[in-house]
Structure 1
Amino acid sequence: MKVPQFFKKRYLFFITLSYWVLLLYIMAAFVFWFITLETQNRQMYVFRVGELKRDDPGYYDKVVEIDKAHRMKSIQYIGEGSTLLLLMLLGAVFVYRAVRRQIITSHQQQNFMMAVTHELKTPIAVARLNLETMLKRKLDESQQQRLLQNTLQEAVRLNELCNNILVTAQLETGAYSISRQELDISSLVQHSADEFSVRYSQRRINTSIQPELFVEGESLLLQLLISNLIENALKYSAKDEPVSVFVSAQHKHVKIEIADGGAGIPDEEKKLVFEKFYRIGSESTRTTKGTGLGLYLCKKITADHKGTITIKDNKPHGSIFTVILQSV
């Protein structure tokens, strides 16, 4: 049976609505049960008092005893009912959050599989087409060099994508052993910026890097961090907009800033973009390439190096990603 497209889009809404309607029904039944028990308790009190004889010398003592039993029963119902209601609400909230998180994660994983399939097929298809063109046609030296350069660029892109997926999985499972050493972060950032300048020769990458700033960390992870941030800036900026890379010392810390001139990130999504698989927009409408792992990996690497990463608006438009690392 085919599920309507409208239901697919509103799946989480319908699940949430059904869950809370069912929970409200259970709570209403619970309250009705309490009212029924309390009513029966009151009726038993009236019945037992009505059976007493007023001329009995111990009448008032018996009334007091019955009233005490009635109040103890009410306290028992209130105590047990409140405890069960609290446990039920806590359990309901826990289950709701767990199920909601699982549904969102499942949806994000589906989007990730769609995106990563496209990201893997595109460089392979481009490389294959270039190589087939070189085999089938007699091209001059400049044309061959251009096709080879294009193929190499796609191979590098494919390698970076595989590295992102592999390192993310290893960091999450604890399988990646971080080998910390003293690194010249200035040289590392400059090297990354130079590589992107060669790969994207038509783009402008401005650098202002204070030399000989050192941090303690893993070379490969920090290289991935910087590469992902620069590539992200290039990806979301227009071709005529420059990307700026700044590195400076800041009171026992090193500050790295990557500024772009793109559309910017809404305030409500500035934290969300660091979540795994999260991407602004929908898979059906967005045109920018990506898998939703780059910024998540940046956040993870920064945290593992006891640093911070933040986003602020660039003027007049765009975003600035700022990484603060401890210097040595």
Structure 2
Amino acid sequence: MKKIIKKWQKKNNIKSFLKSDGKNFLQFFVVFTAIFVALSVIILQTLTTGIYKSTDESIKNLSENHEQLVMNARHDYDIATFFVHEVLPENSENGENAITHIQEVSNFSPNQTTLFYDKNGHILKSDNERVTIADSIKFRPATINKLRNIIVKNPYNGADLLYRTILLKADLTGLQTNIAYIQILVNVDQLADSLARSKIIILTTMIAFWFISLGASIYLSKWSMKPVISAYEKQKNFVENASHELRTPLAILQNRLELLFQKPNATIIDQSENISQSLAEVRNMRLLTSNLLNLAKRDDGLKVELSEVDKKYFETIFDNYALLAENSNRQFTSSVQFFGKVKLDQALIKQLLTILFDNAVKYSDTDSQINIKVEKSSQSLTITTTDNGFGISDADKKKIFDRFYRVDKARTRQKGGFGLGLSLAKQIVTACGGKIDVQDNQPKGTKFIVKLKV
């Protein structure tokens, strides 16, 4: 049974992954694959070009001097095969120098071979090795001046040999010879073996990293989806909570209005309670919709308009709070400890202070103490709001800035709270470039500390 359950969970996890992260995973995987393929092609192309570079330069340098190649032939081949008659007498001083030069340039590398063709493309042969090589090579006029690789049959019945070769049209002005074409061949078997091993290592490494990219793609797809899923969950909770908050006053309104229809002959005085409760719910709905609109505006981007204010700005606000506290049977005190002027957004800071004051009133009993202190340091303005109310648990401290979250739903609903105030407060503080923190007030109550850059 446990195996069946695990199998079912695994199947559902795979389906869930394919639905939520599959597209992102595919995008990451395709990008990684394209990167590794392009990187492999570039590395292999660079390696192939580089490994043959010295060989190609040697062939190029040799191919630029056809006369030296012919001198090689005079030393390595039967001279009569190539020349109609000797141009230089052997006993002359120039002839002696020429023979010496022939000996110097004839064996330019043990891995190199030179073939000569007449004007009809027939090879001029000499030793057995050249005969065997010539039998394995087809004369191709279309490949003149083009470097290429060819495979030649091994004269010793071993593995086939790989040569790097170029076919040249002989330019031997002044020499009476039947050589019309020259072909230079350089054995590159060792280079090819080295290149093959390097390719295997590179491809193996790339394939290994390609498999690693598979895991990386899965991780990145899940990681990139986290903020999307979080935003979706927040939006879902927001809609559910907003619908719940609107459903309650709408239900009360409906019941009150239905009661009015049950007594059509009753006077306004008789139905004053129903009308009063209906108006109260309408005010709650208006407040809720206003807060929702404010939240929507904050999400679209909050524009902060700074202006200079002095301590009188705060004192005026606190005088009004003192009257509100007196009406709600709370004791309110305040202090503003700074001189000169500070720059801040007057409307937003006033809304922030009102939210913090209102929150302190809601979460404290009558005769409670509420205090707001404003003080300025060298680079920041600190606003501290304290009360000796019910306090907030450590678990609630982590969530009180979330939308619609309320520590005591019964109390806040009774007093008209929707759990939106502190969310607005945090958005205001963040927009102003500050931080807000909540702590316990000793011996009881709550302390909100706001630090703003000024």
Under a length normalisation based on structure 2, what TM-score does the superposition of the two structures give?
Answer: 0.46
Q: 1:155 to 1:23 in 2, by over 3 A?
A: closer
Q: 1:189 is matched with which residue?
A: 317
- Higher alpha-carbon Rg: 2
Shift of residue 318, structure 1, vs aligned partner: 1.8
Q: 1:243 is matched with which residue?
A: 370
Q: 1:110 is matched with which residue?
A: 240
Q: 1:227 is matched with which residue?
A: 354
One-letter amino acid of the counterpart of residue 426, structure 2: K
CA contact (8 A) 2:304 2:432 kept: no
CA contact (8 A) 2:331 2:367 kept: no
Q: 1:210 is matched with which residue?
A: 336
CA contact (8 A) 1:187 1:212 kept: no
Distance 1:211 1:152 in 2: 43
Q: 1:91 to 1:106 in 2, by over 3 A?
A: same
Q: 1:205 to 1:107 in 2, by over 3 A?
A: same
CA contact (8 A) 2:364 2:389 kept: yes
SS at match of 1:226: helix
Identity within the alignment, %: 22
More helix by share: 1
Shift of residue 237, structure 1, vs aligned partner: 2.0
Instruction: Give the gaps of 5 or more residues in structure 2.
Output: 1-8, 30-156, 161-189, 260-265
Q: 1:90 is matched with which residue?
A: 220
Q: 1:72 to 1:323 in 2, by over 3 A?
A: closer
| 2:291 aligns with one of 158, 161, 164 | 164
More contact order relative to length (CA 8 Å, sep ≥ 6): 1
Instruction: Give the gaps of 5 or more residues in structure 1.
Output: 1-14, 31-55, 140-146
SS at match of 1:273: coil
Q: 1:76 to 1:254 in 2, by over 3 A?
A: closer
Matched ranges for 1:1-328 at <5 A: 18-19=12-13, 57-58=158-159, 71=201, 73-118=203-248, 135-136=268-269, 161-174=288-301, 177-183=303-309, 184-197=312-325, 201-210=327-336, 214-251=341-378, 253-280=380-407, 287-289=411-413, 290-326=417-453
Shift of residue 310, structure 1, vs aligned partner: 1.6
SS at match of 1:203: coil
Under a length normalisation based on structure 1, what TM-score does the superposition of the two structures give?
Answer: 0.61
Q: 1:166 to 1:286 in 2, by over 3 A?
A: same
Superposed CA RMSD in Å reads 4.8
Shift of residue 317, structure 1, vs aligned partner: 2.0
Provide, for residues 131-180 of structure 1, a one-character-per-residue CA deviation record: whole Å limited to 9, x for no partner. xx99416x9xxxxxxx99x9999998776545433332223223x65443
SS at match of 2:436: strand
